[in-house]
Structure 1
Amino acid sequence: MYRNHLAFRRAAQPFRINFDDVACGASFHQCTYILCAKEPALLAANAAAREAFGKAEPGSPYMPHLSLLYSDVDDEGRQQSAAAAVARLWGEGSGYDTLLPDGGFPAGSFSVWLTPVEDRSLQSWQRVAEFQLAG
């Protein structure tokens, strides 16, 4: 399963994940979320992890994000949720002057999770492994 994980751990360096914007999706698991900036270090770590874990499908989409809400609310509810998140995280009318500590976080490790999409309670979700990044 983790055929090249040791090579990945040696190659991957800690990096910073910066937040970009709050967005809404159309599915339960992508209801409201913060998009993460697609910066070179994050994209390189994603590519290395996909290769190491045998998930390197060419051209498969990658949307780095931090989920804020899993729900089946309608479009209006999603928009309200996103507006509330912007107001709470960046300050209403602030022009995105951040109220978040540093507007992101340093990534020094990552976890692999088993997340059956049919389980909307999330109770069956399990962390399979956690890896510290080199550096």
Structure 2
Amino acid sequence: MADPDHHQCDEEEFFSVWAIPPDDLRNKLKTLMTTLRSEFGGAEFEPHVTVVRALRLRAADALRRLHSAVSSLNYYSARVSSISRGSCVSLLLDPTPEVVNASCHCRAHFGYSNSTPYMPHLSLLYGDLTEEAKEKARARAEELAEGIVGTTFDISKIALFKTDPQDTSLWEKVAVCELLKDK
């Protein structure tokens, strides 16, 4: 008789690859995100830069692909260019060759392709907000983000998260890997 728990472990689930900002910036972002969430609602989540969007894989395969990707990926720098609103309120990052190449590198290891160009961003607020509320949240983020826009920071960690594209409260960290120091 087949073990029912074994089947669950073998199921495909959604996984995303995120770049983790350094601790000093993460702490500033968490404060900003907590304030926005208290004023506008929305889910709590870790500050991150999406490198590879959610795709369906088995957990062991996702981990193998993550380790393969980071084995040849160096630290890289990113710069916050502005605050934007789209499906969420986010910090836009300059799409420098370093930032875009890191995403392309990881996407190749994960077999991810998308017709939409990569737009590096760090989400600040997710929620079911009207366009007017998103604009108010974006403006409020600009007030609160003093010293964040224009900041350049090093990305030295990449994480694998189990994600649910429909429910940010179900996001779960699976692994964090240090990137190589170049030279």
Task: Choose from 113, 118, 122 the match for 2:161.
Answer: 113
Structure 1 runs of 4+ aligned residues shifted over 6 Å read none
Match of 1:45 in 2: 102
Match of 1:61 in 2: 117
Task: Choose from 120, 125, 130 the match for 1:74.
Answer: 130
Within 5 Å, give how 1:81-120 maps onto structure 2. Answer: 81-90=137-146, 99-100=147-148, 103-119=151-167
Change (3 A) 1:10 1:21: same
Q: TM-score of the superposition, structure 2-length normalised?
A: 0.59
Q: TM-score of the superposition, structure 1-length normalised?
A: 0.77
Task: Choose from 111, 125, 128 the match for 2:171.
Answer: 125
Match of 1:95 in 2: none
Native 8 Å contact 2:65 2:109 kept in 1: yes
User: What one-letter code is carried by the residue in structure 2 that aligns with 1:17?
Assistant: A
Native 8 Å contact 2:83 2:149 kept in 1: no
Unaligned runs of 5+ in 1: 91-98
Unaligned runs of 5+ in 2: 1-60
Count of matched residue positions in the alignment of Structure 1 and Structure 2: 120
Give CA-to-partner distance per residue, 1:11-61, whole Å, 9 cap, x none: 211011111111111xxxx32111111011111110110111121x26443
Give the Å deviation of 1:130: 1.6
**Percent identity over paired residues:** 25
**What CA distance in whole angstroms lies between the structure 1 residues aligned with 2:65 and 2:170?**
27
Local SS of the residue matching 2:169:
coil
**What CA distance in whole angstroms lies between the structure 2 residues aligned with 1:74 and 1:36?**
24
Native 8 Å contact 2:80 2:94 kept in 1: yes
**What CA distance in whole angstroms lies between the structure 2 residues aligned with 1:43 and 1:72?**
29
Local SS of the residue matching 1:11:
coil
Which structure: greater helix fraction? 2
Question: Is residue 9 from structure 1 mapped to residue 88 from structure 2 by the alignment?
Answer: no
**What CA distance in whole angstroms lies between the structure 2 residues aligned with 1:88 and 1:67?**
15
